């Protein structure tokens, strides 16, 4: 059928190879990766490489597709792709899908490779917990050495970007891509979004596969991302999850005058910021996180640079310390904006972190549509929280702002994904405060939104109503 082993031929039918061997050799061997930090990292040196894998050891993750078997196949082995998959004519090379490591590196974990003989489907996962479930449904370890396709990061560090995993239950085909547009097109064509398979190095600026070796540039951060509710699929045991009933909105505001995005879970603080005559406008609930630390969560540090007029949020303590050494200051008494998951678990989705090098503004969103602004550069994932809406958009005065939008569980059948969680709906009401001002006593002077103007607590009218109700079981 569509499977092949490391010995023997792949298929008795031989056709001409669609791509010259010389070009393949260039793609496979001459695309030497070099670390290219984002604008923010280049400007401020916030990037610590002590826990990063060796980028000189990166190898192309090759992608091929068989229309007859309805199977996507990926490998780092040139000979396997060349002599087994492509030589038989059943598979067609689609290019370099990513750059990853063929051997273990600091901070990386195995990306397991399995195959289902009956459905002719290759399956890749970094979750060892998922292996028993998928193997019970007919998948088995493939012929890859050590059962692995390669090694990836388990979350977004060191310039890595997400590998989106999709599944078509009709033809039983798992599909993996770093291209958010391709991911969305696959969903539109009948694939299910099954979340993130791991984090690795992009082959191009937007994550699309490349056949021209000159355009295969690893270590570029993505220019497009996705935050679909299905990407929250997780097999994490509930006992390891934070209490979703305790999740609170992370409020978002923006000042065109100051060119700054500001986030807080403190409604009083947001009210004062809106009243401070710095041009801030409320933009809604950006995410749902926790105001106190709960199971499996980590601090989301909040800092501010008065010189740059920039609020900065990170879960990386080392990055926070580097920011402090470069002129940023803790922006709350604790230096913490709230608590989030460090990786994709328990129904959480990514908070994408972007940066505008022209205005020195950091921007955080869970929305795909907002993440593609040409003015901003994607710097990776700031953490994982609960979506405020189906598509990750911020919500203003709407009952659709919910912290439990479609947490899902992988059922015993890998072809069946069911949504099965009660969802308390959160409603946030914002009223614009008046502009009378006086000096507050309970706001840190480091807060950019307040350092140049004083605020009247009595005139700050912000009503934040949180309505918790159990609604629909999917």
Domain co-membership, 144 together with 262: no
Domain co-membership, 263 together with 329: yes
Per the structure, how many domains does the chain have? Answer: 2
Domain co-membership, 220 together with 251: no
Domain boundary pick from 201, 224, 247: 224
Domain co-membership, 410 together with 277: yes
Domain co-membership, 359 together with 291: yes
| Contact between 289 and 243 (Cβ < 8 Å) | no
Token code pair at residue 354: 């972007």
Q: Does the residue 15 lie in any domain?
A: no
CA gyration radius for the chain? 24
The whole-number pLDDT of residue 183 equals 86
Q: Does the residue 445 lie in any domain?
A: yes
Domain co-membership, 118 together with 243: no
Give the torsion sign (CA, 273, 278, 282, 288): negative
- pTM, full prediction: 0.46
User: Which pLDDT tens digit goes with each residue over 422-448?
Assistant: 222 222 333 223 223 222 223 333 444
Q: ∠55-234-2 over CA atoms, to 5°?
A: 70
Length of the chain: 474
The whole-number pLDDT of residue 448 equals 40
Taking the C-alpha atoms of residue 113 and residue 107, their distance in angstroms, rounded to an integer, is 19
Token code pair at residue 236: 């994490």
| Residues of the chain under the 70 pLDDT cut | 1-51, 156, 159, 205-206, 212-239, 344-345, 347, 368-369, 372-374, 390-391, 397-474
The whole-number pLDDT of residue 237 equals 46
The whole-number pLDDT of residue 332 equals 92
The whole-number pLDDT of residue 30 equals 31
E strand or H helix that includes residue 384: strand 377-385
Q: Does the residue 94 lie in any domain?
A: yes
* Three-state SS at 388: coil
Q: Within a 13 Å sphere around the CA of 381, how many CA atoms are in the beta-carbon half?
A: 30
Q: Which long-range contacts (CB under 8 A, 24 or more apart) does 357-361 make?
A: 357/39, 357/40, 357/43, 359/259, 360/259, 360/305, 360/308, 360/309, 360/310, 361/259, 361/260, 361/261, 361/310
* Three-state SS at 79: helix
Domain co-membership, 331 together with 430: yes
Owning domain of residue 267: 238-471
| Contact between 325 and 375 (Cβ < 8 Å) | no
Q: Does the residue 230 lie in any domain?
A: no
Domain boundary pick from 158, 192, 224: 224
Q: Does the residue 143 lie in any domain?
A: yes
Domain boundary pick from 224, 247, 282: 224
Domain co-membership, 242 together with 220: no
Whole-Å CA distances, 233 to 166, 168, 198, 229, 315: 11, 15, 13, 8, 22
The whole-number pLDDT of residue 278 equals 79
Domain co-membership, 270 together with 320: yes
Q: Does the residue 233 lie in any domain?
A: no
Domain co-membership, 204 together with 267: no
Domain co-membership, 281 together with 428: yes
The whole-number pLDDT of residue 255 equals 94
Q: Does the residue 164 lie in any domain?
A: yes
The whole-number pLDDT of residue 206 equals 65
Domain co-membership, 206 together with 278: no
Q: Does the residue 450 lie in any domain?
A: yes
Neighbours of 73 (CB within 10 A): 30
């Amino acid at each position: 059928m569509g499977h092949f082993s490391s010995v023997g031929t792949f298929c008795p039918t031989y056709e001409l190879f669609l791509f010259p061997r010389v070009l393949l050799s260039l793609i496979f061997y001459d695309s030497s990766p070099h670390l290219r930090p984002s604008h923010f990292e280049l400007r401020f040196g916030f990037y610590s490489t002590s826990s990063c894998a060796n980028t000189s050891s990166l190898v192309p993750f090759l992608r091929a597709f068989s229309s007859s078997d309805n199977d996507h196949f990926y490998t780092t082995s040139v000979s396997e792709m060349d002599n087994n998959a492509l030589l038989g004519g059943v598979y067609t090379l689609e290019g370099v899908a990513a750059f990853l490591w063929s051997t273990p590196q600091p901070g990386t974990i195995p990306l397991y490779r399995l195959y289902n003989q009956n459905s002719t489907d290759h399956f890749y996962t970094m979750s060892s917990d998922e292996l028993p479930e998928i193997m019970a449904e007919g998948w088995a370890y493939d012929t890859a050495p050590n059962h692995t396709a390669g090694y990836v990061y388990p979350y977004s560090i060191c310039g890595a970007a997400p590998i989106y995993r999709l599944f078509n239950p009709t033809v039983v085909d798992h599909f993996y891509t770093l291209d958010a547009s391709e991911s969305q097109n696959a969903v539109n064509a009948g694939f299910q979004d099954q979340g993130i398979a791991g984090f690795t190095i992009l082959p191009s600026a937007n994550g699309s596969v490349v056949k021209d070796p000159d355009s295969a540039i690893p270590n570029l951060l993505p220019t497009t991302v996705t935050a679909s509710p299905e990407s929250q699929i997780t097999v994490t045991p509930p006992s390891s999850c934070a209490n979703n009933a305790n999740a609170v909105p992370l409020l978002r505001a923006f000042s065109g005058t100051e060119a700054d995005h500001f986030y807080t879970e403190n409604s009083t603080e947001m009210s004062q910021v809106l009243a401070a005559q710095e041009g801030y406008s409320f933009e809604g609930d950006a995410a749902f996180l926790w105001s106190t630390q709960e199971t499996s969560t980590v601090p989301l540090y909040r800092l501010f640079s008065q010189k740059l007029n920039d609020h900065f949020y990170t879960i990386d303590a080392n990055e926070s310390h580097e920011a402090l050494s470069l002129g940023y200051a803790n922006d709350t008494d604790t230096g913490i904006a709230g608590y989030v998951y460090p990786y994709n678990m328990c129904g959480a989705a990514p908070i994408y972190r972007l940066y505008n090098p022209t205005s020195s503004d950091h921007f955080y969103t869970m929305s795909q549509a907002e993440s593609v602004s040409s003015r901003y550069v994607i710097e990776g994932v700031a953490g994982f929280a609960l979506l405020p809406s189906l598509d990750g958009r911020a919500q203003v005065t709407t009952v659709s702002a919910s912290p439990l939008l479609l947490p899902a569980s992988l059922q015993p059948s890998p072809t069946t994904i069911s949504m099965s969680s009660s969802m308390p709906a959160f409603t946030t009401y914002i009223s614009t405060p008046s502009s009378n001002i006086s000096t507050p006593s309970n706001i840190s002077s480091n807060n950019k939104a307040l350092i140049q103007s004083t605020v009247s607590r009595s005139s700050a009218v912000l009503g934040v109503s949180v309505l918790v109700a159990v609604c629909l079981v999917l």
